[in-house]
Amino acid sequence: MGKFPVPVGPMKPKIFVTRQIPKPAMDLLFLHFDVEFNKEDRVLTKKEIVKGVKGKDALLCLLTDSIDAEVLDAEPNLKMVSNYAVGFNNVDVKAATHHGILVTNTPGVLTDATADFAFTLLLAAARRVGEAERFVRKGKFKGWGPLHFLGQSTEDATLGIFGLGRIGREVARRAAQGFEMKILYHDVQRVPDFEKEFGAKFVDKETLLRESDFVSLHVPLNPNTHHLIGEKEFKLMKPTAVLVNTSRGPVVDEKALAQALQEKRIFAAGLDVYEREPVIEKALLKLENVVLAPHIASATVKSRTDMGLLAVNNLVSAFNGIAPDCLVNRKVLAKSRMKVT
C-alpha cells in the first residue's frame, strides 16, 4: 500500500477509531491525522461511539460497530466513515449520503485469505476434523479403526456457489484447479467468462441445492439474501451435503440449520459468521457435525494489515480531495461535506 502526502492544512484532521487495527496501519494513521482511539480490545457501545465522534472529522470503524443515523447525527462536521471491512451493512449508507458523509470499505485485500478459510471449513466439516480432534483431546483415541470418523470426499464432487464476487470466484478456482470439482453457481446474473474458465454451470437456486455435494455462501447481506438458506432449502439438499458460510451470518436461518443437522438432513456445516453474532444458536454449540469458527476468515497477518492500510489510505485520499477508489456511496460526491473529486 502506498503512502500519500500529509493532508494540506494548518491542522491534521481529527479521527476517531473504534478499535485498534494492526500497527502498520495505526502508525500510518498517526502520521496523517490527529487520532483518538479505543484502547480496549472490545466492541464499543453506541453511546461510546457517539461520544467518540463528537468533534471529529472522520470515523474509522469495524463491521462489529453499528453506525446508524444516531451516530451520524452526533457530529455536524463528520465528513467520512472508513469501514474496516468488505461488507458495509453495519453502516446506514443512505443516512450518510443524505448528510454528505463519505463511506468507504476495504475490498479485495482479504479475498485469498477468506477463500482459503472457506475451503478450510469445507474440508474440516466434510472430514469431521473438529469432532475427531475433540475425541483425541478427551483421551478416547485407542488406535486406528476402519470405521472411525468416516466423512465426505471431494473426489468427483460438485461444489455449488452462491455469489460470484471476488471471494466466490477464488473458492471456485481452488475447487476446480486444486480438487477437480465440478462447479455450479447462482448469482443475480450469468458470468460467461467464469463459465468458460472453469467449466462452471449457471443454475437456479433449487437446482444448485439439489445437485451440490458442497454449498458455499459468498453473497452480501441485503433483504434478498436474508435467510437465503432456511428450512425449505435444507429439505432440497442431499443428506450427504456440507454447507459453508463465510459471508454474513443472517444469510442462514440458524434455527433451521440446527434442526437440519440434528435430523441428519445434511451431513455437516462449517460456519465463520452467525445470525446474531457474537451470540450463537445454542443448539449448534451442542452438535458434533458443525465446525464453528469465531469470524476469522480474513485473520492472516497480511490480510488484516492490508485491510488497515487500505482503510487509512481511503481517509488520506479523501482528505487530499481525491475520491477513494473504495467509495461505496458515489452519489454523495454531489453534496459531500468536503471537496472531493
Give residue-wise pLDDT tens across range 293-329. 999 999 999 999 999 999 999 999 999 999 999 999 9
Determine the pLDDT at residue 38.
97
Of 329, 318, 321, 276, the C-alpha closest to 60 is: 318
- Within this chain, do residues 263 and 191 fall inside the same structural domain, yes or no? yes
227 and 278 assigned to the same domain: yes
* pLDDT band at 2; cut points 50, 70, 90: very low
Q: Which of 32, 248, 265, 304 is catalytic?
A: 248
pLDDT for residue 1: 39
pLDDT digits (tens, 9 = 90+) for 12-28: 999 999 999 999 999 99
Closest by CA to 28, choosing from 9, 56, 10, 2, is: 2
What gap in Å lies between CA 164 and CA 224, rounded to an integer?
Answer: 15
Measure the CA–CA gap between 180 and 175, rounded to whole angstroms: 6
Say what angle helices 111-126 and 301-319 make with each other, to 10 degrees. 150
Q: Which domain holds residue 122?
A: 111-292
Same domain, 116 and 190: yes
Residue 177 located in a structural domain: yes
Question: Is residue 145 domain-shared with residue 205, that is, in the same domain?
Answer: yes
In this structure, are 40 and 82 located in the same domain?
yes
Are 127 and 232 in a shared domain? yes
Angstrom distance (rounded) from CA 244 to CA 337: 41
Residue 1 resides in a domain: no
Q: Which of 48, 197, 211, 277 is catalytic?
A: 277
Q: Are residues 120 and 258 in the same domain?
A: yes
Helix segments in the chain, DSSP class H: 23-32, 46-53, 69-73, 93-98, 111-126, 129-137, 166-173, 179, 192-198, 205-211, 231-236, 254-262, 282-285, 301-319
Q: Is residue 9 part of a domain?
A: no
Task: Determine contact, residues 267/289, Cβ cutoff 8 Å.
Answer: yes
The whole-number pLDDT of residue 7 equals: 53
Mean pLDDT of the chain: 95
Cα 226 to Cα 162, 214, 249, 297, distances in angstroms: 13, 20, 9, 20
Cβ-contact 125, 270 below 8 angstroms: yes
CB 24 within 8 A of CB 311: no
The cell 460470484 sits on which residue?
164
Pairwise CA distance, residues 43 & 297, whole Å: 19
Q: What is the rounded average pLDDT of the residues 169-193?
A: 96
The verdict on whether 155 is a catalytic residue reads: no
pLDDT at 9 over 90: no
* Lookup: cell for 266: 445434511
Q: Which of 98, 226, 295, 337 is catalytic?
A: 295
Active site residue 248: yes
Rounded mean pLDDT, 236-257:
98
Let me know whether 160 and 141 are in one domain.
yes
Considering the domain architecture, whether residues 150 and 285 belong to the same structural domain is answered as yes
Mean pLDDT of 105-127: 97
Instruction: Please confirm, yes or no, whether 277 is among the known catalytic residues.
Output: yes
341: in domain: no
Q: Is the pLDDT of residue 166 over 60?
A: yes
pLDDT tens digit sequence for 69-97: 999 999 999 999 999 999 999 999 999 99
The pLDDT value given to residue 339: 87
Residues counted in the chain:
341
In a domain, 244, yes or no: yes
Q: Do 277 and 210 fall within a single domain?
A: yes
Q: Are residues 134 and 245 in the same domain?
A: yes
Residue 45 per-residue DSSP state: P
pLDDT classification of 280: cutoffs 50, 70, 90: very high
CATH number of the domain bearing residue 43: 3.40.50.720
Residue 4 lies in a domain: no
Average pLDDT over residues 212-237: 97
Residues 6+ apart with CB under 8 A from 139: none
Is residue 245 in a domain?
Answer: yes
CA distance 80 to 313: 13
Residue at 3 is within a domain: no
Count how many domains the chain has: 2
Q: Check whether residue 126 and residue 241 sit in a common domain.
A: yes
Q: Could you tell me the sign of the dihedral formed by the alpha carbons of 238, 243, 247, 251, in that order? A: positive
